[in-house]
């Protein structure tokens, strides 16, 4: 049988067709518009997502036996607000995760109501990307639209609704709305009251691997598929990407070294750190996860190489870096502010420690090490919650650098594994479809059988010791400079 994984991203939808053995048969991508009506705003038309999906799936399945397609599931951009009226029509364009208009609403939630209280309801603090502040913004600025709301949905869940006719969501994506009681996996009555919503306006909640329904007649006609195709709930992009990399089970960890950096830690048990520096969300396997986000990971290296040095030969710039733990130049990778653990948009990128002996290679090394130290900030918080991490899986553009993988292995004191698949979210969604259709008994069983480690970078105890001393210096730099950063705005 065949399974479709849908990765509904911010700029495009990626579609993947695979069989139950994990063999990928086809991959198709379709783009759609992104709108910026005002500075700092970011919106999309949900109908554009569905149009792209229909076109893409027709291309994806054109050469296969469509009767063999048994299930479809999703990975989705998180936090976006899709609101429907009583006829299930979209009321206004979706406000996306990277929209920054809700700072006033976040301040209201975190300061006036109180971060501790909000965290007790949802396990997280308010951030501008989350859905609840968007609801409050619409309530204040577009009261006529707010009055029309019959259902509040997330991007991928709107697509699942279009395919199944079921207003559904899953626990991992719902965790990022700030409307969900993560610990107990149910809508938070307190947060719904704060936002002026009723529970019947929210979608029905499923685990990520559960079937929400079969494909309805209209969707089957649009896609050229059978109404017997099962629609499986799916999950938020990071949770499903971690299914696609096999990061399922206690202490399993994935580091995504892309434009931003994500540290994703799977855990069996619910917990929250005191400062809400890490996101505490439900995982796509039925358990929980922590997530730390740094805003400029591989982007820091790209900026240094492209804009400052003026080269695309990244590997050539790294070839003279051989002495790890010996560099006295430090780099704070806060080129776009920082999320975890500082949650400070005013933080700035900073080099410190240069002397007349400092070389171009020293500066390049400092950038790579600075990102690794910033990733370690999330690890240290996780350790404080009692989660032990001995090895990580790594993906993203930065993971192509053997040197960077070696630096990260020693800064974090973990083994760094690379796996046999680079497809991440779309692959993870297809795995969830397999599990939902009963081909595997659990997400853990599926990932164990389908995902294999093909290469490992191990740490060196002597270098680890050197980097521990360097990290002790690094973690003092931001507190020393915070006041100056705030004055620069």
Does residue 486 have an active-site annotation?
no
pTM for this prediction: 0.92
Tokens representing residue 8 in the block:
């509904």
At the top level of CATH, the class of 246-420+459-489 is: alpha beta
Q: Closest by alpha carbon to 301, among 314, 282, 292?
A: 314
Same fold, 2-239 and 246-420+459-489: yes
Per residue in 154-165, pLDDT tens? Answer: 999 999 999 999
Q: What is the DSSP string of 189-250?
A: HHHHHHHT--GGGBPEEE-TTSEEEEPPHHHHHHHT--TTPEEE--EEHHHHHHHHTT--ST
In the annotated binding site for substrate, the residues are 78-79
Q: What is the mean predicted confidence (pLDDT) over 274-302? A: 94
Question: 2-239 belongs to which homologous superfamily?
Answer: ATPase, nucleotide binding domain (3.30.420.40)
Per residue in 303-330, pLDDT tens? Answer: 999 999 999 999 999 999 999 999 999 9
Rounded CA separation 112/7 (Å): 37
Spans of all domains in the chain:
2-239, 246-420+459-489
Beta strands in 314-452 (DSSP E): 330-332, 350-352, 391-395, 415-419
Q: Is the pLDDT of residue 354 over 90?
A: yes
Residue 423 confidence (pLDDT): 84
Identify the bridge partners of residue 351 per DSSP, sorted by sequence position: 331
Catalytic residue among 237, 273, 362, 377: 237
Containing H/E element for 113? none
Q: Is the pLDDT of residue 258 over 90?
A: no
């Amino acid at each position: 049988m065949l399974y479709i994984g849908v990765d509904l991203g911010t700029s495009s939808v990626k579609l993947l067709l695979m069989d139950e053995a994990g063999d990928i048969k086809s991959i198709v991508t379709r783009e759609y518009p992104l709108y910026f009506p005002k500075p700092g705003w970011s919106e999309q038309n949900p109908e554009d997502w569905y149009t792209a999906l229909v076109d893409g799936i027709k291309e994806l399945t054109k050469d296969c036996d469509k009767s063999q397609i048994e299930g479809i599931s999703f990975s989705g951009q998180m936090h976006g607000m899709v609101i429907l009226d009583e006829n299930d029509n979209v009321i206004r364009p979706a406000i996306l995760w990277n929209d920054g208009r809700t700072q006033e609403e976040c301040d209201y939630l975190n300061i006036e109501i109180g971060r501790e209280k909000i965290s007790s309801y949802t396990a997280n603090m308010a951030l501008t990307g989350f859905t609840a502040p968007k609801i409050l913004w619409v309530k204040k600025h577009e009261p006529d639209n707010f009055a029309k709301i019959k259902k509040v949905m997330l991007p991928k869940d709107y697509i699942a609704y279009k395919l199944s006719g079921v207003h559904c969501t899953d626990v991992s994506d719902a965790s990022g709305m700030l409307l969900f009681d993560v610990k107990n996996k149910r809508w938070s009555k307190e947060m719904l009251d704060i936002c002026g919503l009723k529970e019947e306006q929210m979608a029905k909640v499923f685990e990520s691997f559960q079937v929400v329904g079969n494909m309805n007649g209209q969707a089957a006609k649009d896609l050229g598929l059978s109404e017997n195709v099962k629609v499986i709930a799916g999950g938020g992009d990071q949770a499903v990407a971690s299914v696609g990399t096999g990061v399922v089970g206690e202490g399993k960890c994935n580091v995504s070294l892309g434009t931003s950096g994500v540290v994703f830690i799977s855990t069996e048990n619910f917990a929250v750190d005191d400062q809400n520096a890490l996101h505490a969300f439900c995982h796509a396997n039925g358990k929980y996860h922590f997530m730390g986000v740094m805003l400029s990971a591989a982007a820091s290296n790209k900026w240094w190489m492209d804009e400052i040095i003026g080269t695309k030969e990244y590997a050539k710039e790294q070839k003279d870096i051989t002495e790890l733990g010996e560099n006295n130049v430090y780099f704070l990778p806060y080129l776009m502010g920082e999320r975890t653990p500082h949650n400070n948009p005013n933080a700035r990128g900073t080099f410190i420690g240069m002397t007349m002996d400092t070389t171009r290679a020293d500066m390049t090394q400092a950038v790579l090490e600075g990102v690794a130290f910033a990733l370690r900030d999330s690890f240290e918080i996780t350790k404080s919650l009692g989660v032990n991490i001995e090895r990580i899986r790594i993906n993203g553009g930065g993971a192509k650098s053997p040197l960077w993988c070696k630096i990260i292995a020693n800064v974090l004191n973990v083994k760094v594994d690379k796996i046999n698949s680079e497809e991440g979210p779309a692959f993870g969604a297809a795995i969830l479809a397999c599990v939902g259709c009963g081909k595997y008994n659990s997400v853990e069983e599926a990932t164990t059988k389908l995902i294999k480690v093909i290469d490992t970078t191990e740490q060196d105890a002597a270098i680890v010791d050197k980097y521990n001393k360097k990290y002790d210096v690094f973690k003092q730099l931001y507190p020393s400079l915070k006041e100056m950063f705030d004055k620069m705005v």
